[in-house]
């Protein structure tokens, strides 16, 4: 158990049976009345951020969060299979745990497995990935980088990305996996 006096940014705690990460906190000692702690908490399941106030000295269960580098091997409709880079043990996870995070990840690429109290809770892909365009409308003469238009392109993982008009099949592009947006030609 930890007290509000031990709060640190990024620390994970359990409040009312839900897991939160402390985004920021502030100890407040008003002129009269008891001290309290104002916090901004991020729900680790939904990602929602909320403001919450606690009495000074209130106690919470500290949650141990960690992440482990794993190699994404493959996925089926029933499972996502990862391999530990150090012990070479394979771990099978339900596809709901991965969600859309693997949309831009090729097989045999490194990802981070997020753990809370040793249990897997999610997968974080690399921030930027380079993928080849496998399907798109052909570029037309006059379509340039400064042309200002975008079209849909399917990349080798099957995901669809908006790319500039001059991109063609076979071109490699850099994608930001957080937003799913085209960054630059690779």
97 DSSP 8-state letter? H
pLDDT of residue 69: 92
pLDDT of residue 20: 87
pLDDT of residue 141: 57
pLDDT of residue 117: 82
Where exactly are the structural domains of the chain? 2-63, 65-124, 128-185
Given a contact cutoff of 8 angstroms between Cβ atoms, the answer to whether 155 and 176 are in contact is: no
> Is the model's pTM score more than 0.85?
no
At the top level of CATH, the class of 65-124 is: mainly beta
Q: Do domains 65-124 and 128-185 have the same CATH topology?
A: yes
CATH superfamily entry for domain 128-185: Nucleic acid-binding proteins (2.40.50.140)
User: What is the architecture, at CATH level 2, of domain 2-63?
Assistant: Roll (2.30)
Question: Can you give the pLDDT of all 186 residues of the chain as single tens digits?
Answer: 888 888 888 788 888 888 888 889 999 898 888 899 999 998 877 778 899 999 988 898 888 888 899 999 998 889 999 999 889 999 998 888 887 888 899 999 999 988 888 888 888 899 999 999 999 888 665 555 555 678 899 999 999 999 988 888 899 999 998 888 999 988
pLDDT of residue 101: 81
**Which are the contacts of 185, defined by CB distance < 8 A and separation ≥ 6?**
167, 171, 172, 173, 174
pLDDT of residue 2: 87
Calculate Rg over the CA atoms of the chain: 22
Token pair 């249990």 is at which residue? 119
């Amino acid at each position: 158990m930890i007290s509000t006096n031990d709060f640190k940014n990024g620390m994970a705690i359990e409040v009312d049976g839900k897991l939160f990460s402390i985004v920021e906190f502030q100890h407040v000692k008003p002129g009269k009345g008891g001290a309290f702690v104002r916090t901004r908490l991020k729900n680790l399941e939904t990602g929602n951020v909320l403001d919450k106030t606690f009495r000074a000295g209130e106690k919470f269960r500290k949650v141990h969060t960690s992440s482990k580098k794993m190699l994404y091997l493959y996925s089926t409709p029933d499972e996502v299979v990862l391999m530990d880079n150090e012990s070479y043990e394979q771990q099978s996870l339900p596809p709901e745990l991965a969600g859309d995070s693997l949309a831009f990840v090729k097989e045999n690429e490194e990802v981070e497995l997020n753990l809370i109290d040793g249990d897997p809770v999610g997968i974080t892909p690399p921030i930027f990935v380079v993928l080849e365009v496998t399907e798109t409308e052909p570029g037309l003469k006059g379509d340039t980088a400064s042309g200002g238009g975008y079209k849909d392109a399917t990349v080798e993982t099957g995901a669809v990305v908006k790319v500039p008009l001059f991109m063609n099949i076979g071109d490699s592009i850099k994608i930001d996996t957080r937003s799913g947006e085209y960054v630059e030609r690779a």
